[in-house]
Structure 1
Amino acid sequence: MRILVLGATGRVGSHIVSLALRDEHSVTALVRTQNKLNLNDENLQIVQGNVLKKQDIENVMVNVDIVISALNTDGTNTLTKSMPLILEAMEKQHVKRIISIGTAGILQSRLTPNVLRYQSSESKRKTTFAAEEHHKVYQLLKKSDSDWTIVCPTYLPDGEYTGTYRIEQDFLPDGGGEISVADTAEFAYQQIQSKEYVKSRVGIAY
């Protein structure tokens, strides 16, 4: 499978790249700084570029089967500025499947089910900027023709891979407080072979 990974130098993204290469998939990683991805593999193509530049996105979307976006907010609007460009390039190249890493804040609230967690008293975060950015991406994906899945982890410590965690469509598993980067990456990566959560948000936690 030919996989485009965006956010490949981040904590979750770098794990996903390693998993895909382990299984001998062909991986293209669009990165701003090439030496941040310290991997050497014949199946890995590292392309220097910017997700905010339409031409850069279009260049790496050629001959791709699936897109995995592990982009984060970093206190900027990179997420919401890049997603329209990603979706446009996907449509142009007839790429249907995209798996995105979101946040538990955009899952439905258990306390107030008609709003999202970050909009309710369920969220303990003082700032909602990141959740608002992820919410806008969720809205863009919902309006698109793509086969999207948003993996929504709660607090993300580095941690080891355990393979033992709970998932729930649209909600954070009850009482879930954290999930490791490695387990989040593994679950997101598994979705390339699964249609179970197409056009869905998935909460993940221990």
Structure 2
Amino acid sequence: MKLLLLGATGRVGKEVAAQAIEDGHQVTLLVRSPEKLDNSFSGATVVHGDACVEKDLFRAVLGMDAVISALSTDGGSVLTDSTPLLIAAMHACAVKRVITIGTAGILDSRRHPGLLRYETPDSRRSSTRAAEEHRRVWELLSASGLDWTIVCPTYLPLGDRTGVYRVERDCLPLDGLSISVADTAQFAYKQLWDNSYIGARAGIAY
């Protein structure tokens, strides 16, 4: 498979890259700072560019079979700036499958029907800015016509790849408190071949 990975220098992105390279796929990384890549990325094709620049995204998406985006909010508007450009590039290059890493904050609330988790009165978030960025990505993908999945982990500590976790469509598994970076990456990577969560937010937790 020819896979484009965005956000490869982040924690989840690095794990996704490692799994895809290990399995022998043709992995392309679009990165602003190639000097941040260590030897674990050897075997991948590196494209120096910016996910918020239209021509860079088009160049990276061309010829791919699928895209995984592990871009973070980065304290700014990178998600909402890059997502419309990514959608346009995927349509122009006839690439349908996209998997992104979101947040459990944009999953449906169990205790407050009609609200997302980050909107509820009992949310512990001191700021909703990041969740609002992820919500906008969800809205854009929902209207895109692409085969999208948003992986929505809760608290993300470091930890081993166990392969043992719970997943629920559009909600966080009941009493889910955490999920490791490695298991989040594994689940996102597996969605390249699993159609169960196309057009959905996938809540993931132990």
- TM interval, short-chain normalised: over 0.9
**2:18·2:41 contact (CA, 8 Å) conserved in 1?**
no
CA distance in 1, matches of 2:45, 2:165: 32
Structure 1: give runs of 5+ residues left out of the alignment: none
CA distance in 1, matches of 2:143, 2:103: 19
Taking structure 1 as reference, are residues 74 and 42 closer, same or farther at Cα in structure 2, changes over 3 Å only?
closer
Moved more, 130-139 or 156-165: 156-165
Matched with 1:21 is 21
Deviations 1:142-192 (A, max 9, x none): 000100000000011111111111110000011111110000000000000
Deviations 1:74-109 (A, max 9, x none): 210000000000000000000000000000000000
Moved more, 23-32 or 33-42: 33-42
Q: Which amino acid aligns with 1:104?
A: A
Q: Does 1:143 align with 2:160?
A: no
Displacement of 1:136: 0.2
**1:101·1:152 contact (CA, 8 Å) conserved in 2?**
yes
Considering only aligned residues, what root-mean-square deviation do their CA atoms show, in Å? 1.1
Structure 2: give runs of 5+ residues left out of the alignment: none
Q: TM-score, normalised by structure 2?
A: 0.97
In the alignment of these two chains, the number of paired residues is 206
Identity, % of aligned positions: 51
Any idea what SS the aligned residue of 1:198 has? coil
Q: TM-score, normalised by structure 1?
A: 0.97
Deviations 1:116-147 (A, max 9, x none): 10011342111111000000000000000100
**1:73·1:79 contact (CA, 8 Å) conserved in 2?**
yes
